[in-house]
A and B are shown apart, each in its own frame.
Chain A
Amino acid sequence: MSTKSKSIQNKSSDERLRKVSKLKVLLNRPELGALGGSILVFIFFGIIAGDTGMFSAYGTINFLEVSANLGIIAVAAALLMIGGEFDLSVGSMIGFAGICIAIPAIYWGWPLWMSILFAFSMAVLVGYANGILVVRTGLPSFIVTLAMLFILRGATLAITRLITGRTQVPGLRVLVEDDPIAWIFSADAFKFVFTWLGSLGLIELRQDGTPLATGIPASVIWWIAMTLFATWLLMKTRYGNWIFASGGDKLGARNVGVPVGRVKISLFIGTAVAATIYACVQVLDAGSADTMRGFLKELEAIVAAVVGGCLLTGGYGSAIGAAFGALIFGTVSMGIYYTDVDTDWFKVFLGVMMLIAVIFNNYIRRRVTENK
């Protein structure tokens, strides 16, 4: 005993502390797979489509924007998945949030900012409903949110048709211009950089002399900000520890005083709010709300989170991983247009990638929990 504790006090000379290389430490990180996958994808398209304009300023902004849209919901889905639950209603929430913005703004004459706030409060409500149902009934979140998927999509369609007689609500673009908060979701950032690069002739210009890519889309900023925030939450806060604990072992966490129910409910609110951010970006950018917007996005978000290293059983994963998962998704879905490959193959790629990711994650989990 005494020799052992001595060796612990003098940590540097602990003979039982195996020297672990930086690489091995990295191998145990959940986001490794997605990071490696992203690099592979970029190398692949760099070789295949390097000279096609995919990696021009305009092309890059394009695939980043697709990645960002998915990334916004994937990061929230990843947090929820680490907390041990799923949210299949994300896609329907996007459509629902879209009409929550458009109908009050167009048909009831609300100012746009008010309809945006209205959409967010509806999101909190839906997320809370999902959360409280899962926590109180103990039913699998898969079933509860699957029900919510149909309820929300159906309600979106029914309400929209009832009020407008159609399934699309156009006419928002004019309202965006002088709204005090709409720019948060629609303005391009760093425009001056792009104008400057354009004036130097470094990026492509339109015929009128303005650059083809006008700036970094708001969605990309949201994506990066949300990833950083979620990572900070997970790694550096008490709440982050509670998320891991709630997903890792619900009962154990509860026994030591973690408010598991509250954590889960807040995570459900998180995914619904993220869906609403997605909806704001899309609706304000397109200038119209569509009842089918966000269709199947919940599954894509889960793919991104899983590719990013989240375990389906909860308790393990990372937000950065989910962001990279979304990046792979966006890069391939746009990049495929620059190759000779038929775009039909994209879904095949998606499925194969998910399978590889799940097998890889399973192996990582064994490494983490079973190496003695």
Chain B
Amino acid sequence: MSDNLIEFNNISKFFGSVIALKDVTMHIKRGQIMCLLGDNGAGKSTLIKTLSGVHKPDEGEIIVEGKKTVFDSPRDALDMGIATVYQDLALVSLMSVTRNFFMGREPMKGFGPFKTFDVKKANSIASERMGQIGIDVRDPSQAVGTMSGGERQCLAISRAIYFGAKVLILDEPTSALGVHQASVVLKYIVKAASSGLGVILITHNVHHAYPVGNSFTILNRGKSMGTFNKKDLSREKLLGMMAGGEELDKLEVELKEIDRIVKN
């Protein structure tokens, strides 16, 4: 029980008469990757926003390291060590790697009104951190705009970890990436988890989720279809459980039917 970093118990969220989430329960353990899967409109975004403190749940409770907690703002969640990396990554492409890494949390030196941004220290931390994940920051003062999509994603994740994240919520980190880039990012996510973080990986791509995930929660129309451990679940079954699965089967049958008619 106590190895749960965070528990979300029976979370519900309503917008007026719309039931966006109903009785969603998830447990995230240290060092584990929990994949949150669901098609468009399944309630993934609402759930992320509830987890990261943007929305307050209308029902249910959030338990962080054994203590019941209410997030009043994203800042609260962040202070608890729950960091969310959104799809836009919160990176400024015209600014350097270092300036992005420390944006809003710049290391300072000096005292009183003469406190200055310690650029040297920031540069060395940024390139060291990026080096650890195998990304060669050719020059930490280069603009983020020169980096590839995967590198930017890793930068954003690495920044969240550096600033004390215990739980990482990653919103579609691989959706805009090519095969190679996606695998680099996924590798990094696995590495981050193995160092003791809990990771919630939100995606609609089963092929990205299945190899890295330890457990899988499937959302469909605002409800959780349950959380499954990897050993109880095959890739095909997982695909089938997402909303698209059934429909794809139906589509296949229909296509066969059309094929038969055309042939006759």
List A316-372 residues whose CB lies under 8 Å from chain B: 316, 365, 368-372
Chain B proximity mask over A246-258: 1 for CB below 8 Å, otherwise 0:
0011011101111
Q: Which B residues are in CB contact (< 8 Å) with A241? A: 95, 99, 102-103, 106, 117
- Assuming the A-B contacts A237-B117, A370-B146, are A253 and B94 also in contact, with contact meaning beta carbons closer than 8 angstroms in the complex? no
Interface size of B by CB at 8 A reads 36
Asked if B138 and A18 sit within 8 Å, CB to CB, the answer is yes
B132 within 8 A of A: yes
Q: Give CA–CA (A205, B251) in the complex, Å.
A: 96
Chain A proximity mask over B72-99: 1 for CB below 8 Å, otherwise 0:
0011000000000010111111110001
Q: Which A residues are in CB contact (< 8 Å) with B132? A: 5
Chain A proximity mask over B105-149: 1 for CB below 8 Å, otherwise 0:
110100000011101000000010011101011110001011010
Task: Tell me the minimal C-beta distance from A201 to chain B in angstroms.
Answer: 45
B178 within 8 A of A: no
Asked if A248 and B93 sit within 8 Å, CB to CB, the answer is yes
Q: Which B residues are in CB contact (< 8 Å) with A372? A: 146, 148
Q: Which B residues are in CB contact (< 8 Å) with A256? A: 90, 103-105, 159
- Assuming the A-B contacts A241-B103, A256-B103, A258-B103, are A365 and B139 also in contact, with contact meaning beta carbons closer than 8 angstroms in the complex? no
Asked if B136 and A16 sit within 8 Å, CB to CB, the answer is yes
Cβ-neighbour of B88 out of A17, A18, A252, A365 (below 8 A): A252
Q: Which A residues are in CB contact (< 8 Å) with B99? A: 241, 244-245
Task: Tell me the minimal C-beta distance from A175 to chain B in angstroms.
Answer: 33
Asked if B92 and A4 sit within 8 Å, CB to CB, the answer is no
List A1-59 residues whose CB lies under 8 Å from chain B: 1, 4-5, 7-9, 11, 14, 16-18, 20
Q: Give CA–CA (A369, B103) in the complex, Å.
A: 18
Q: Which A residues are in CB contact (< 8 Å) with B86? A: 255
Cβ-neighbour of A248 out of B94, B105, B148, B159 (below 8 A): B94
A242 within 8 A of B: yes
Asked if A17 and B139 sit within 8 Å, CB to CB, the answer is yes
List A56-90 residues whose CB lies under 8 Å from chain B: none
Q: Which B residues are in CB contact (< 8 Å) with A198? A: none
Task: Tell me the minimal C-beta distance from B181 to chain A in angstroms.
Answer: 13
A91 within 8 A of B: no
Q: Which A residues are in CB contact (< 8 Å) with B127? A: 8, 11
- Assuming the A-B contacts A9-B131, A372-B146, are A17 and B138 also in contact, with contact meaning beta carbons closer than 8 angstroms in the complex? yes
Asked if B108 and A238 sit within 8 Å, CB to CB, the answer is yes
Q: Which A residues are in CB contact (< 8 Å) with B75? A: 257
A131 within 8 A of B: no
Task: Tell me the minimal C-beta distance from A370 to chain B in angstroms.
Answer: 6
Asked if B136 and A14 sit within 8 Å, CB to CB, the answer is yes
Size class of A's contact patch?
Answer: 35 or more
A270 within 8 A of B: no
A240 within 8 A of B: yes
Q: Which residue of B lies closest to A252 (CB)?
A: B90
Q: Which B residues are in CB contact (< 8 Å) with A242? A: 104
Task: Tell me the minimal C-beta distance from A22 to chain B in angstroms.
Answer: 13
Q: Give CA–CA (A244, B145) in the complex, Å.
A: 14
Chain B proximity mask over A157-174: 1 for CB below 8 Å, otherwise 0:
000000000000000000
A236 within 8 A of B: yes
Cβ-neighbour of A253 out of B103, B119, B138 (below 8 A): B103
Asked if A252 and B94 sit within 8 Å, CB to CB, the answer is no
A315 within 8 A of B: yes
Asked if B103 and A245 sit within 8 Å, CB to CB, the answer is yes
Asked if B139 and A315 sit within 8 Å, CB to CB, the answer is no
Cβ-neighbour of B116 out of A17, A237, A257, A316 (below 8 A): A237
Asked if B94 and A368 sit within 8 Å, CB to CB, the answer is yes
Q: Give CA–CA (A258, B90) in the complex, Å.
A: 11
Q: Which B residues are in CB contact (< 8 Å) with A238? A: 106, 108, 115, 117
Q: Which B residues are in CB contact (< 8 Å) with A1? A: 134
Q: Which B residues are in CB contact (< 8 Å) with A315? A: 92, 94-95
Q: Which residue of A lies closest to B92 (CB)?
A: A248
Asked if A245 and B92 sit within 8 Å, CB to CB, the answer is yes
Q: Give CA–CA (A282, B27) in the complex, Å.
A: 68
Q: Give CA–CA (A248, B93) in the complex, Å.
A: 7
Q: Which residue of B lies closest to A258 (CB)?
A: B104
Q: Give CA–CA (A6, B134) in the complex, Å.
A: 9
Task: Tell me the minimal C-beta distance from B40 to chain A in angstroms.
Answer: 22
Asked if B95 and A244 sit within 8 Å, CB to CB, the answer is yes
Asked if A369 and B143 sit within 8 Å, CB to CB, the answer is yes
Q: Give CA–CA (A5, B103) in the complex, Å.
A: 25
Q: Give CA–CA (A1, B133) in the complex, Å.
A: 8
Task: Tell me the minimal C-beta distance from A21 to chain B in angstroms.
Answer: 13
Q: Give CA–CA (A245, B146) in the complex, Å.
A: 17
Task: Tell me the minimal C-beta distance from A290 to chain B in angstroms.
Answer: 37
Cβ-neighbour of A369 out of B116, B138, B139, B146 (below 8 A): B146
Q: Which A residues are in CB contact (< 8 Å) with B159? A: 256
Asked if B104 and A4 sit within 8 Å, CB to CB, the answer is no
List A231-283 residues whose CB lies under 8 Å from chain B: 235-238, 240-242, 244-245, 248-249, 251-253, 255-258
Asked if A316 and B94 sit within 8 Å, CB to CB, the answer is yes
Task: Tell me the minimal C-beta distance from B176 to chain A in angstroms.
Answer: 16
Q: Give CA–CA (A11, B130) in the complex, Å.
A: 13
Task: Tell me the minimal C-beta distance from A257 to chain B in angstroms.
Answer: 4
Q: Give CA–CA (A372, B149) in the complex, Å.
A: 11
Q: What are the nearest 5 A-B pairs in CB distance?
A: A369-B145, A248-B92, A8-B131, A257-B104, A252-B90
For this complex, 17 residue pairs linking A to B, each with C-beta atoms less than 8 Å apart, are A5-B131, A11-B127, A17-B138, A236-B119, A242-B104, A248-B93, A249-B92, A252-B88, A252-B92, A253-B90, A256-B104, A257-B104, A368-B94, A369-B93, A371-B146, A372-B146, A372-B148
Q: Which residues of A are interface residues toward B (Cβ below 8 A)? A: 1, 4-5, 7-9, 11, 14, 16-18, 20, 235-238, 240-242, 244-245, 248-249, 251-253, 255-258, 311, 315-316, 365, 368-372
